[in-house]
Amino acid sequence: MPEIRANTVLRARRRDVVLQTADGLDLVGELALPPDRPPVATLLCLHPLPTQGGFMDSHLLRKAGWRLPALADLAVLRFNTRGTTSPRGTSQGTFDGGRGERHDLAAALDLCEAEDLPAIWLFAWSFGTDLALRYGCDPSVAGAVLVSPPLRTAGPDDLDSWGRSGKPLVALVPEHDEFLQPAQARQRFALVPQAEVVAVEGAKHLFVGFTEQVLDEVVKRVAPGAFPLPTSYDEAQGS
């Protein structure tokens, strides 16, 4: 069977979506569903800092959308937060430093509810992890996987809320992260008794070269029946 490579796109039911925020903005996104069966769980993706090039197609999120509907029966929702541009288009509004973006996450959760998507997990990266921690401890959310959390704007009160919720919280922290490294992350996430900090040896903040490891860690928590992910695929599943 062919090997899964960096640009492999597996078959899925994909369609463009528009999220509507409570403050009147349209946000562009994509929903990818398993090709021929209902999803077992949902990844709601929150991208890195748009002022530093983050968007819905940042590589870990893009490859989750390309691979996980077919390999792990997951629904994957990716979208651009306010003012963010990608090949899919530009979301209305302007970047608000994580304040107005609370409405963006709420709109994404509303879409998940409207689509009747199961077991919503936040899959957040960098700036997106602060949004997840500040605004994502919602009754509809099953848990969160945080990639390279800088803990820039999320504070002790946000961590306390997650701790009280009992919801699973996994932080994938690069050994050589430029903002928060594993030892410090363990100290700061101690406010969340159920939090699991996973140190990723050799990785930096952008996780270049670590896609397979990250997606395996995600699937291990969200869809354990599909763990570990295969490294090859049946051609009938190809794009």
Sequence-ordered list of residues with C-beta below 8 angstroms from that of 223, at least 6 positions apart, any chain: 40, 41, 68, 72, 73, 74
Residue 55 pLDDT class (50, 70, 90 cuts): very high
Distance CA 214, CA 148 (A): 11
Among candidates 55, 94, 48, 83, which has minimal Cα distance to 205? 48
Sequence-ordered list of residues with C-beta below 8 angstroms from that of 26, at least 6 positions apart, any chain: 18, 19, 20, 91, 92
Peptide bond into 228 cis (omega under 30): yes
Domain ranges for the chain:
13-223
Q: What angle, 0 to 180 degrees and rounded to 10, lies between the N-to-C axes of helices 59-72 and 211-222?
A: 50
Average pLDDT in the chain: 97
Mean pLDDT of 174-203: 98
Residue 239 pLDDT class (50, 70, 90 cuts): very low
Sequence-ordered list of residues with C-beta below 8 angstroms from that of 82, at least 6 positions apart, any chain: 21, 25, 27, 91, 92, 93, 94, 95, 96, 100, 101, 103, 104
Alpha carbon separation from 186 to 52, 71, 124, 159, 171 (Å, rounded): 26, 31, 18, 12, 9
Q: Strand, coil or helix: what is 69? A: helix
- Written out in words, the top-level CATH class of the domain with range 13-223 is alpha beta
Sequence-ordered list of residues with C-beta below 8 angstroms from that of 53, at least 6 positions apart, any chain: none
User: Which run of H or of E encompasses 44?
Assistant: strand 41-46
Q: How much is the pLDDT for 1?
A: 87
Task: Tell me: pLDDT of 238 over 80.
Answer: no
Q: How much is the pLDDT for 18?
A: 98
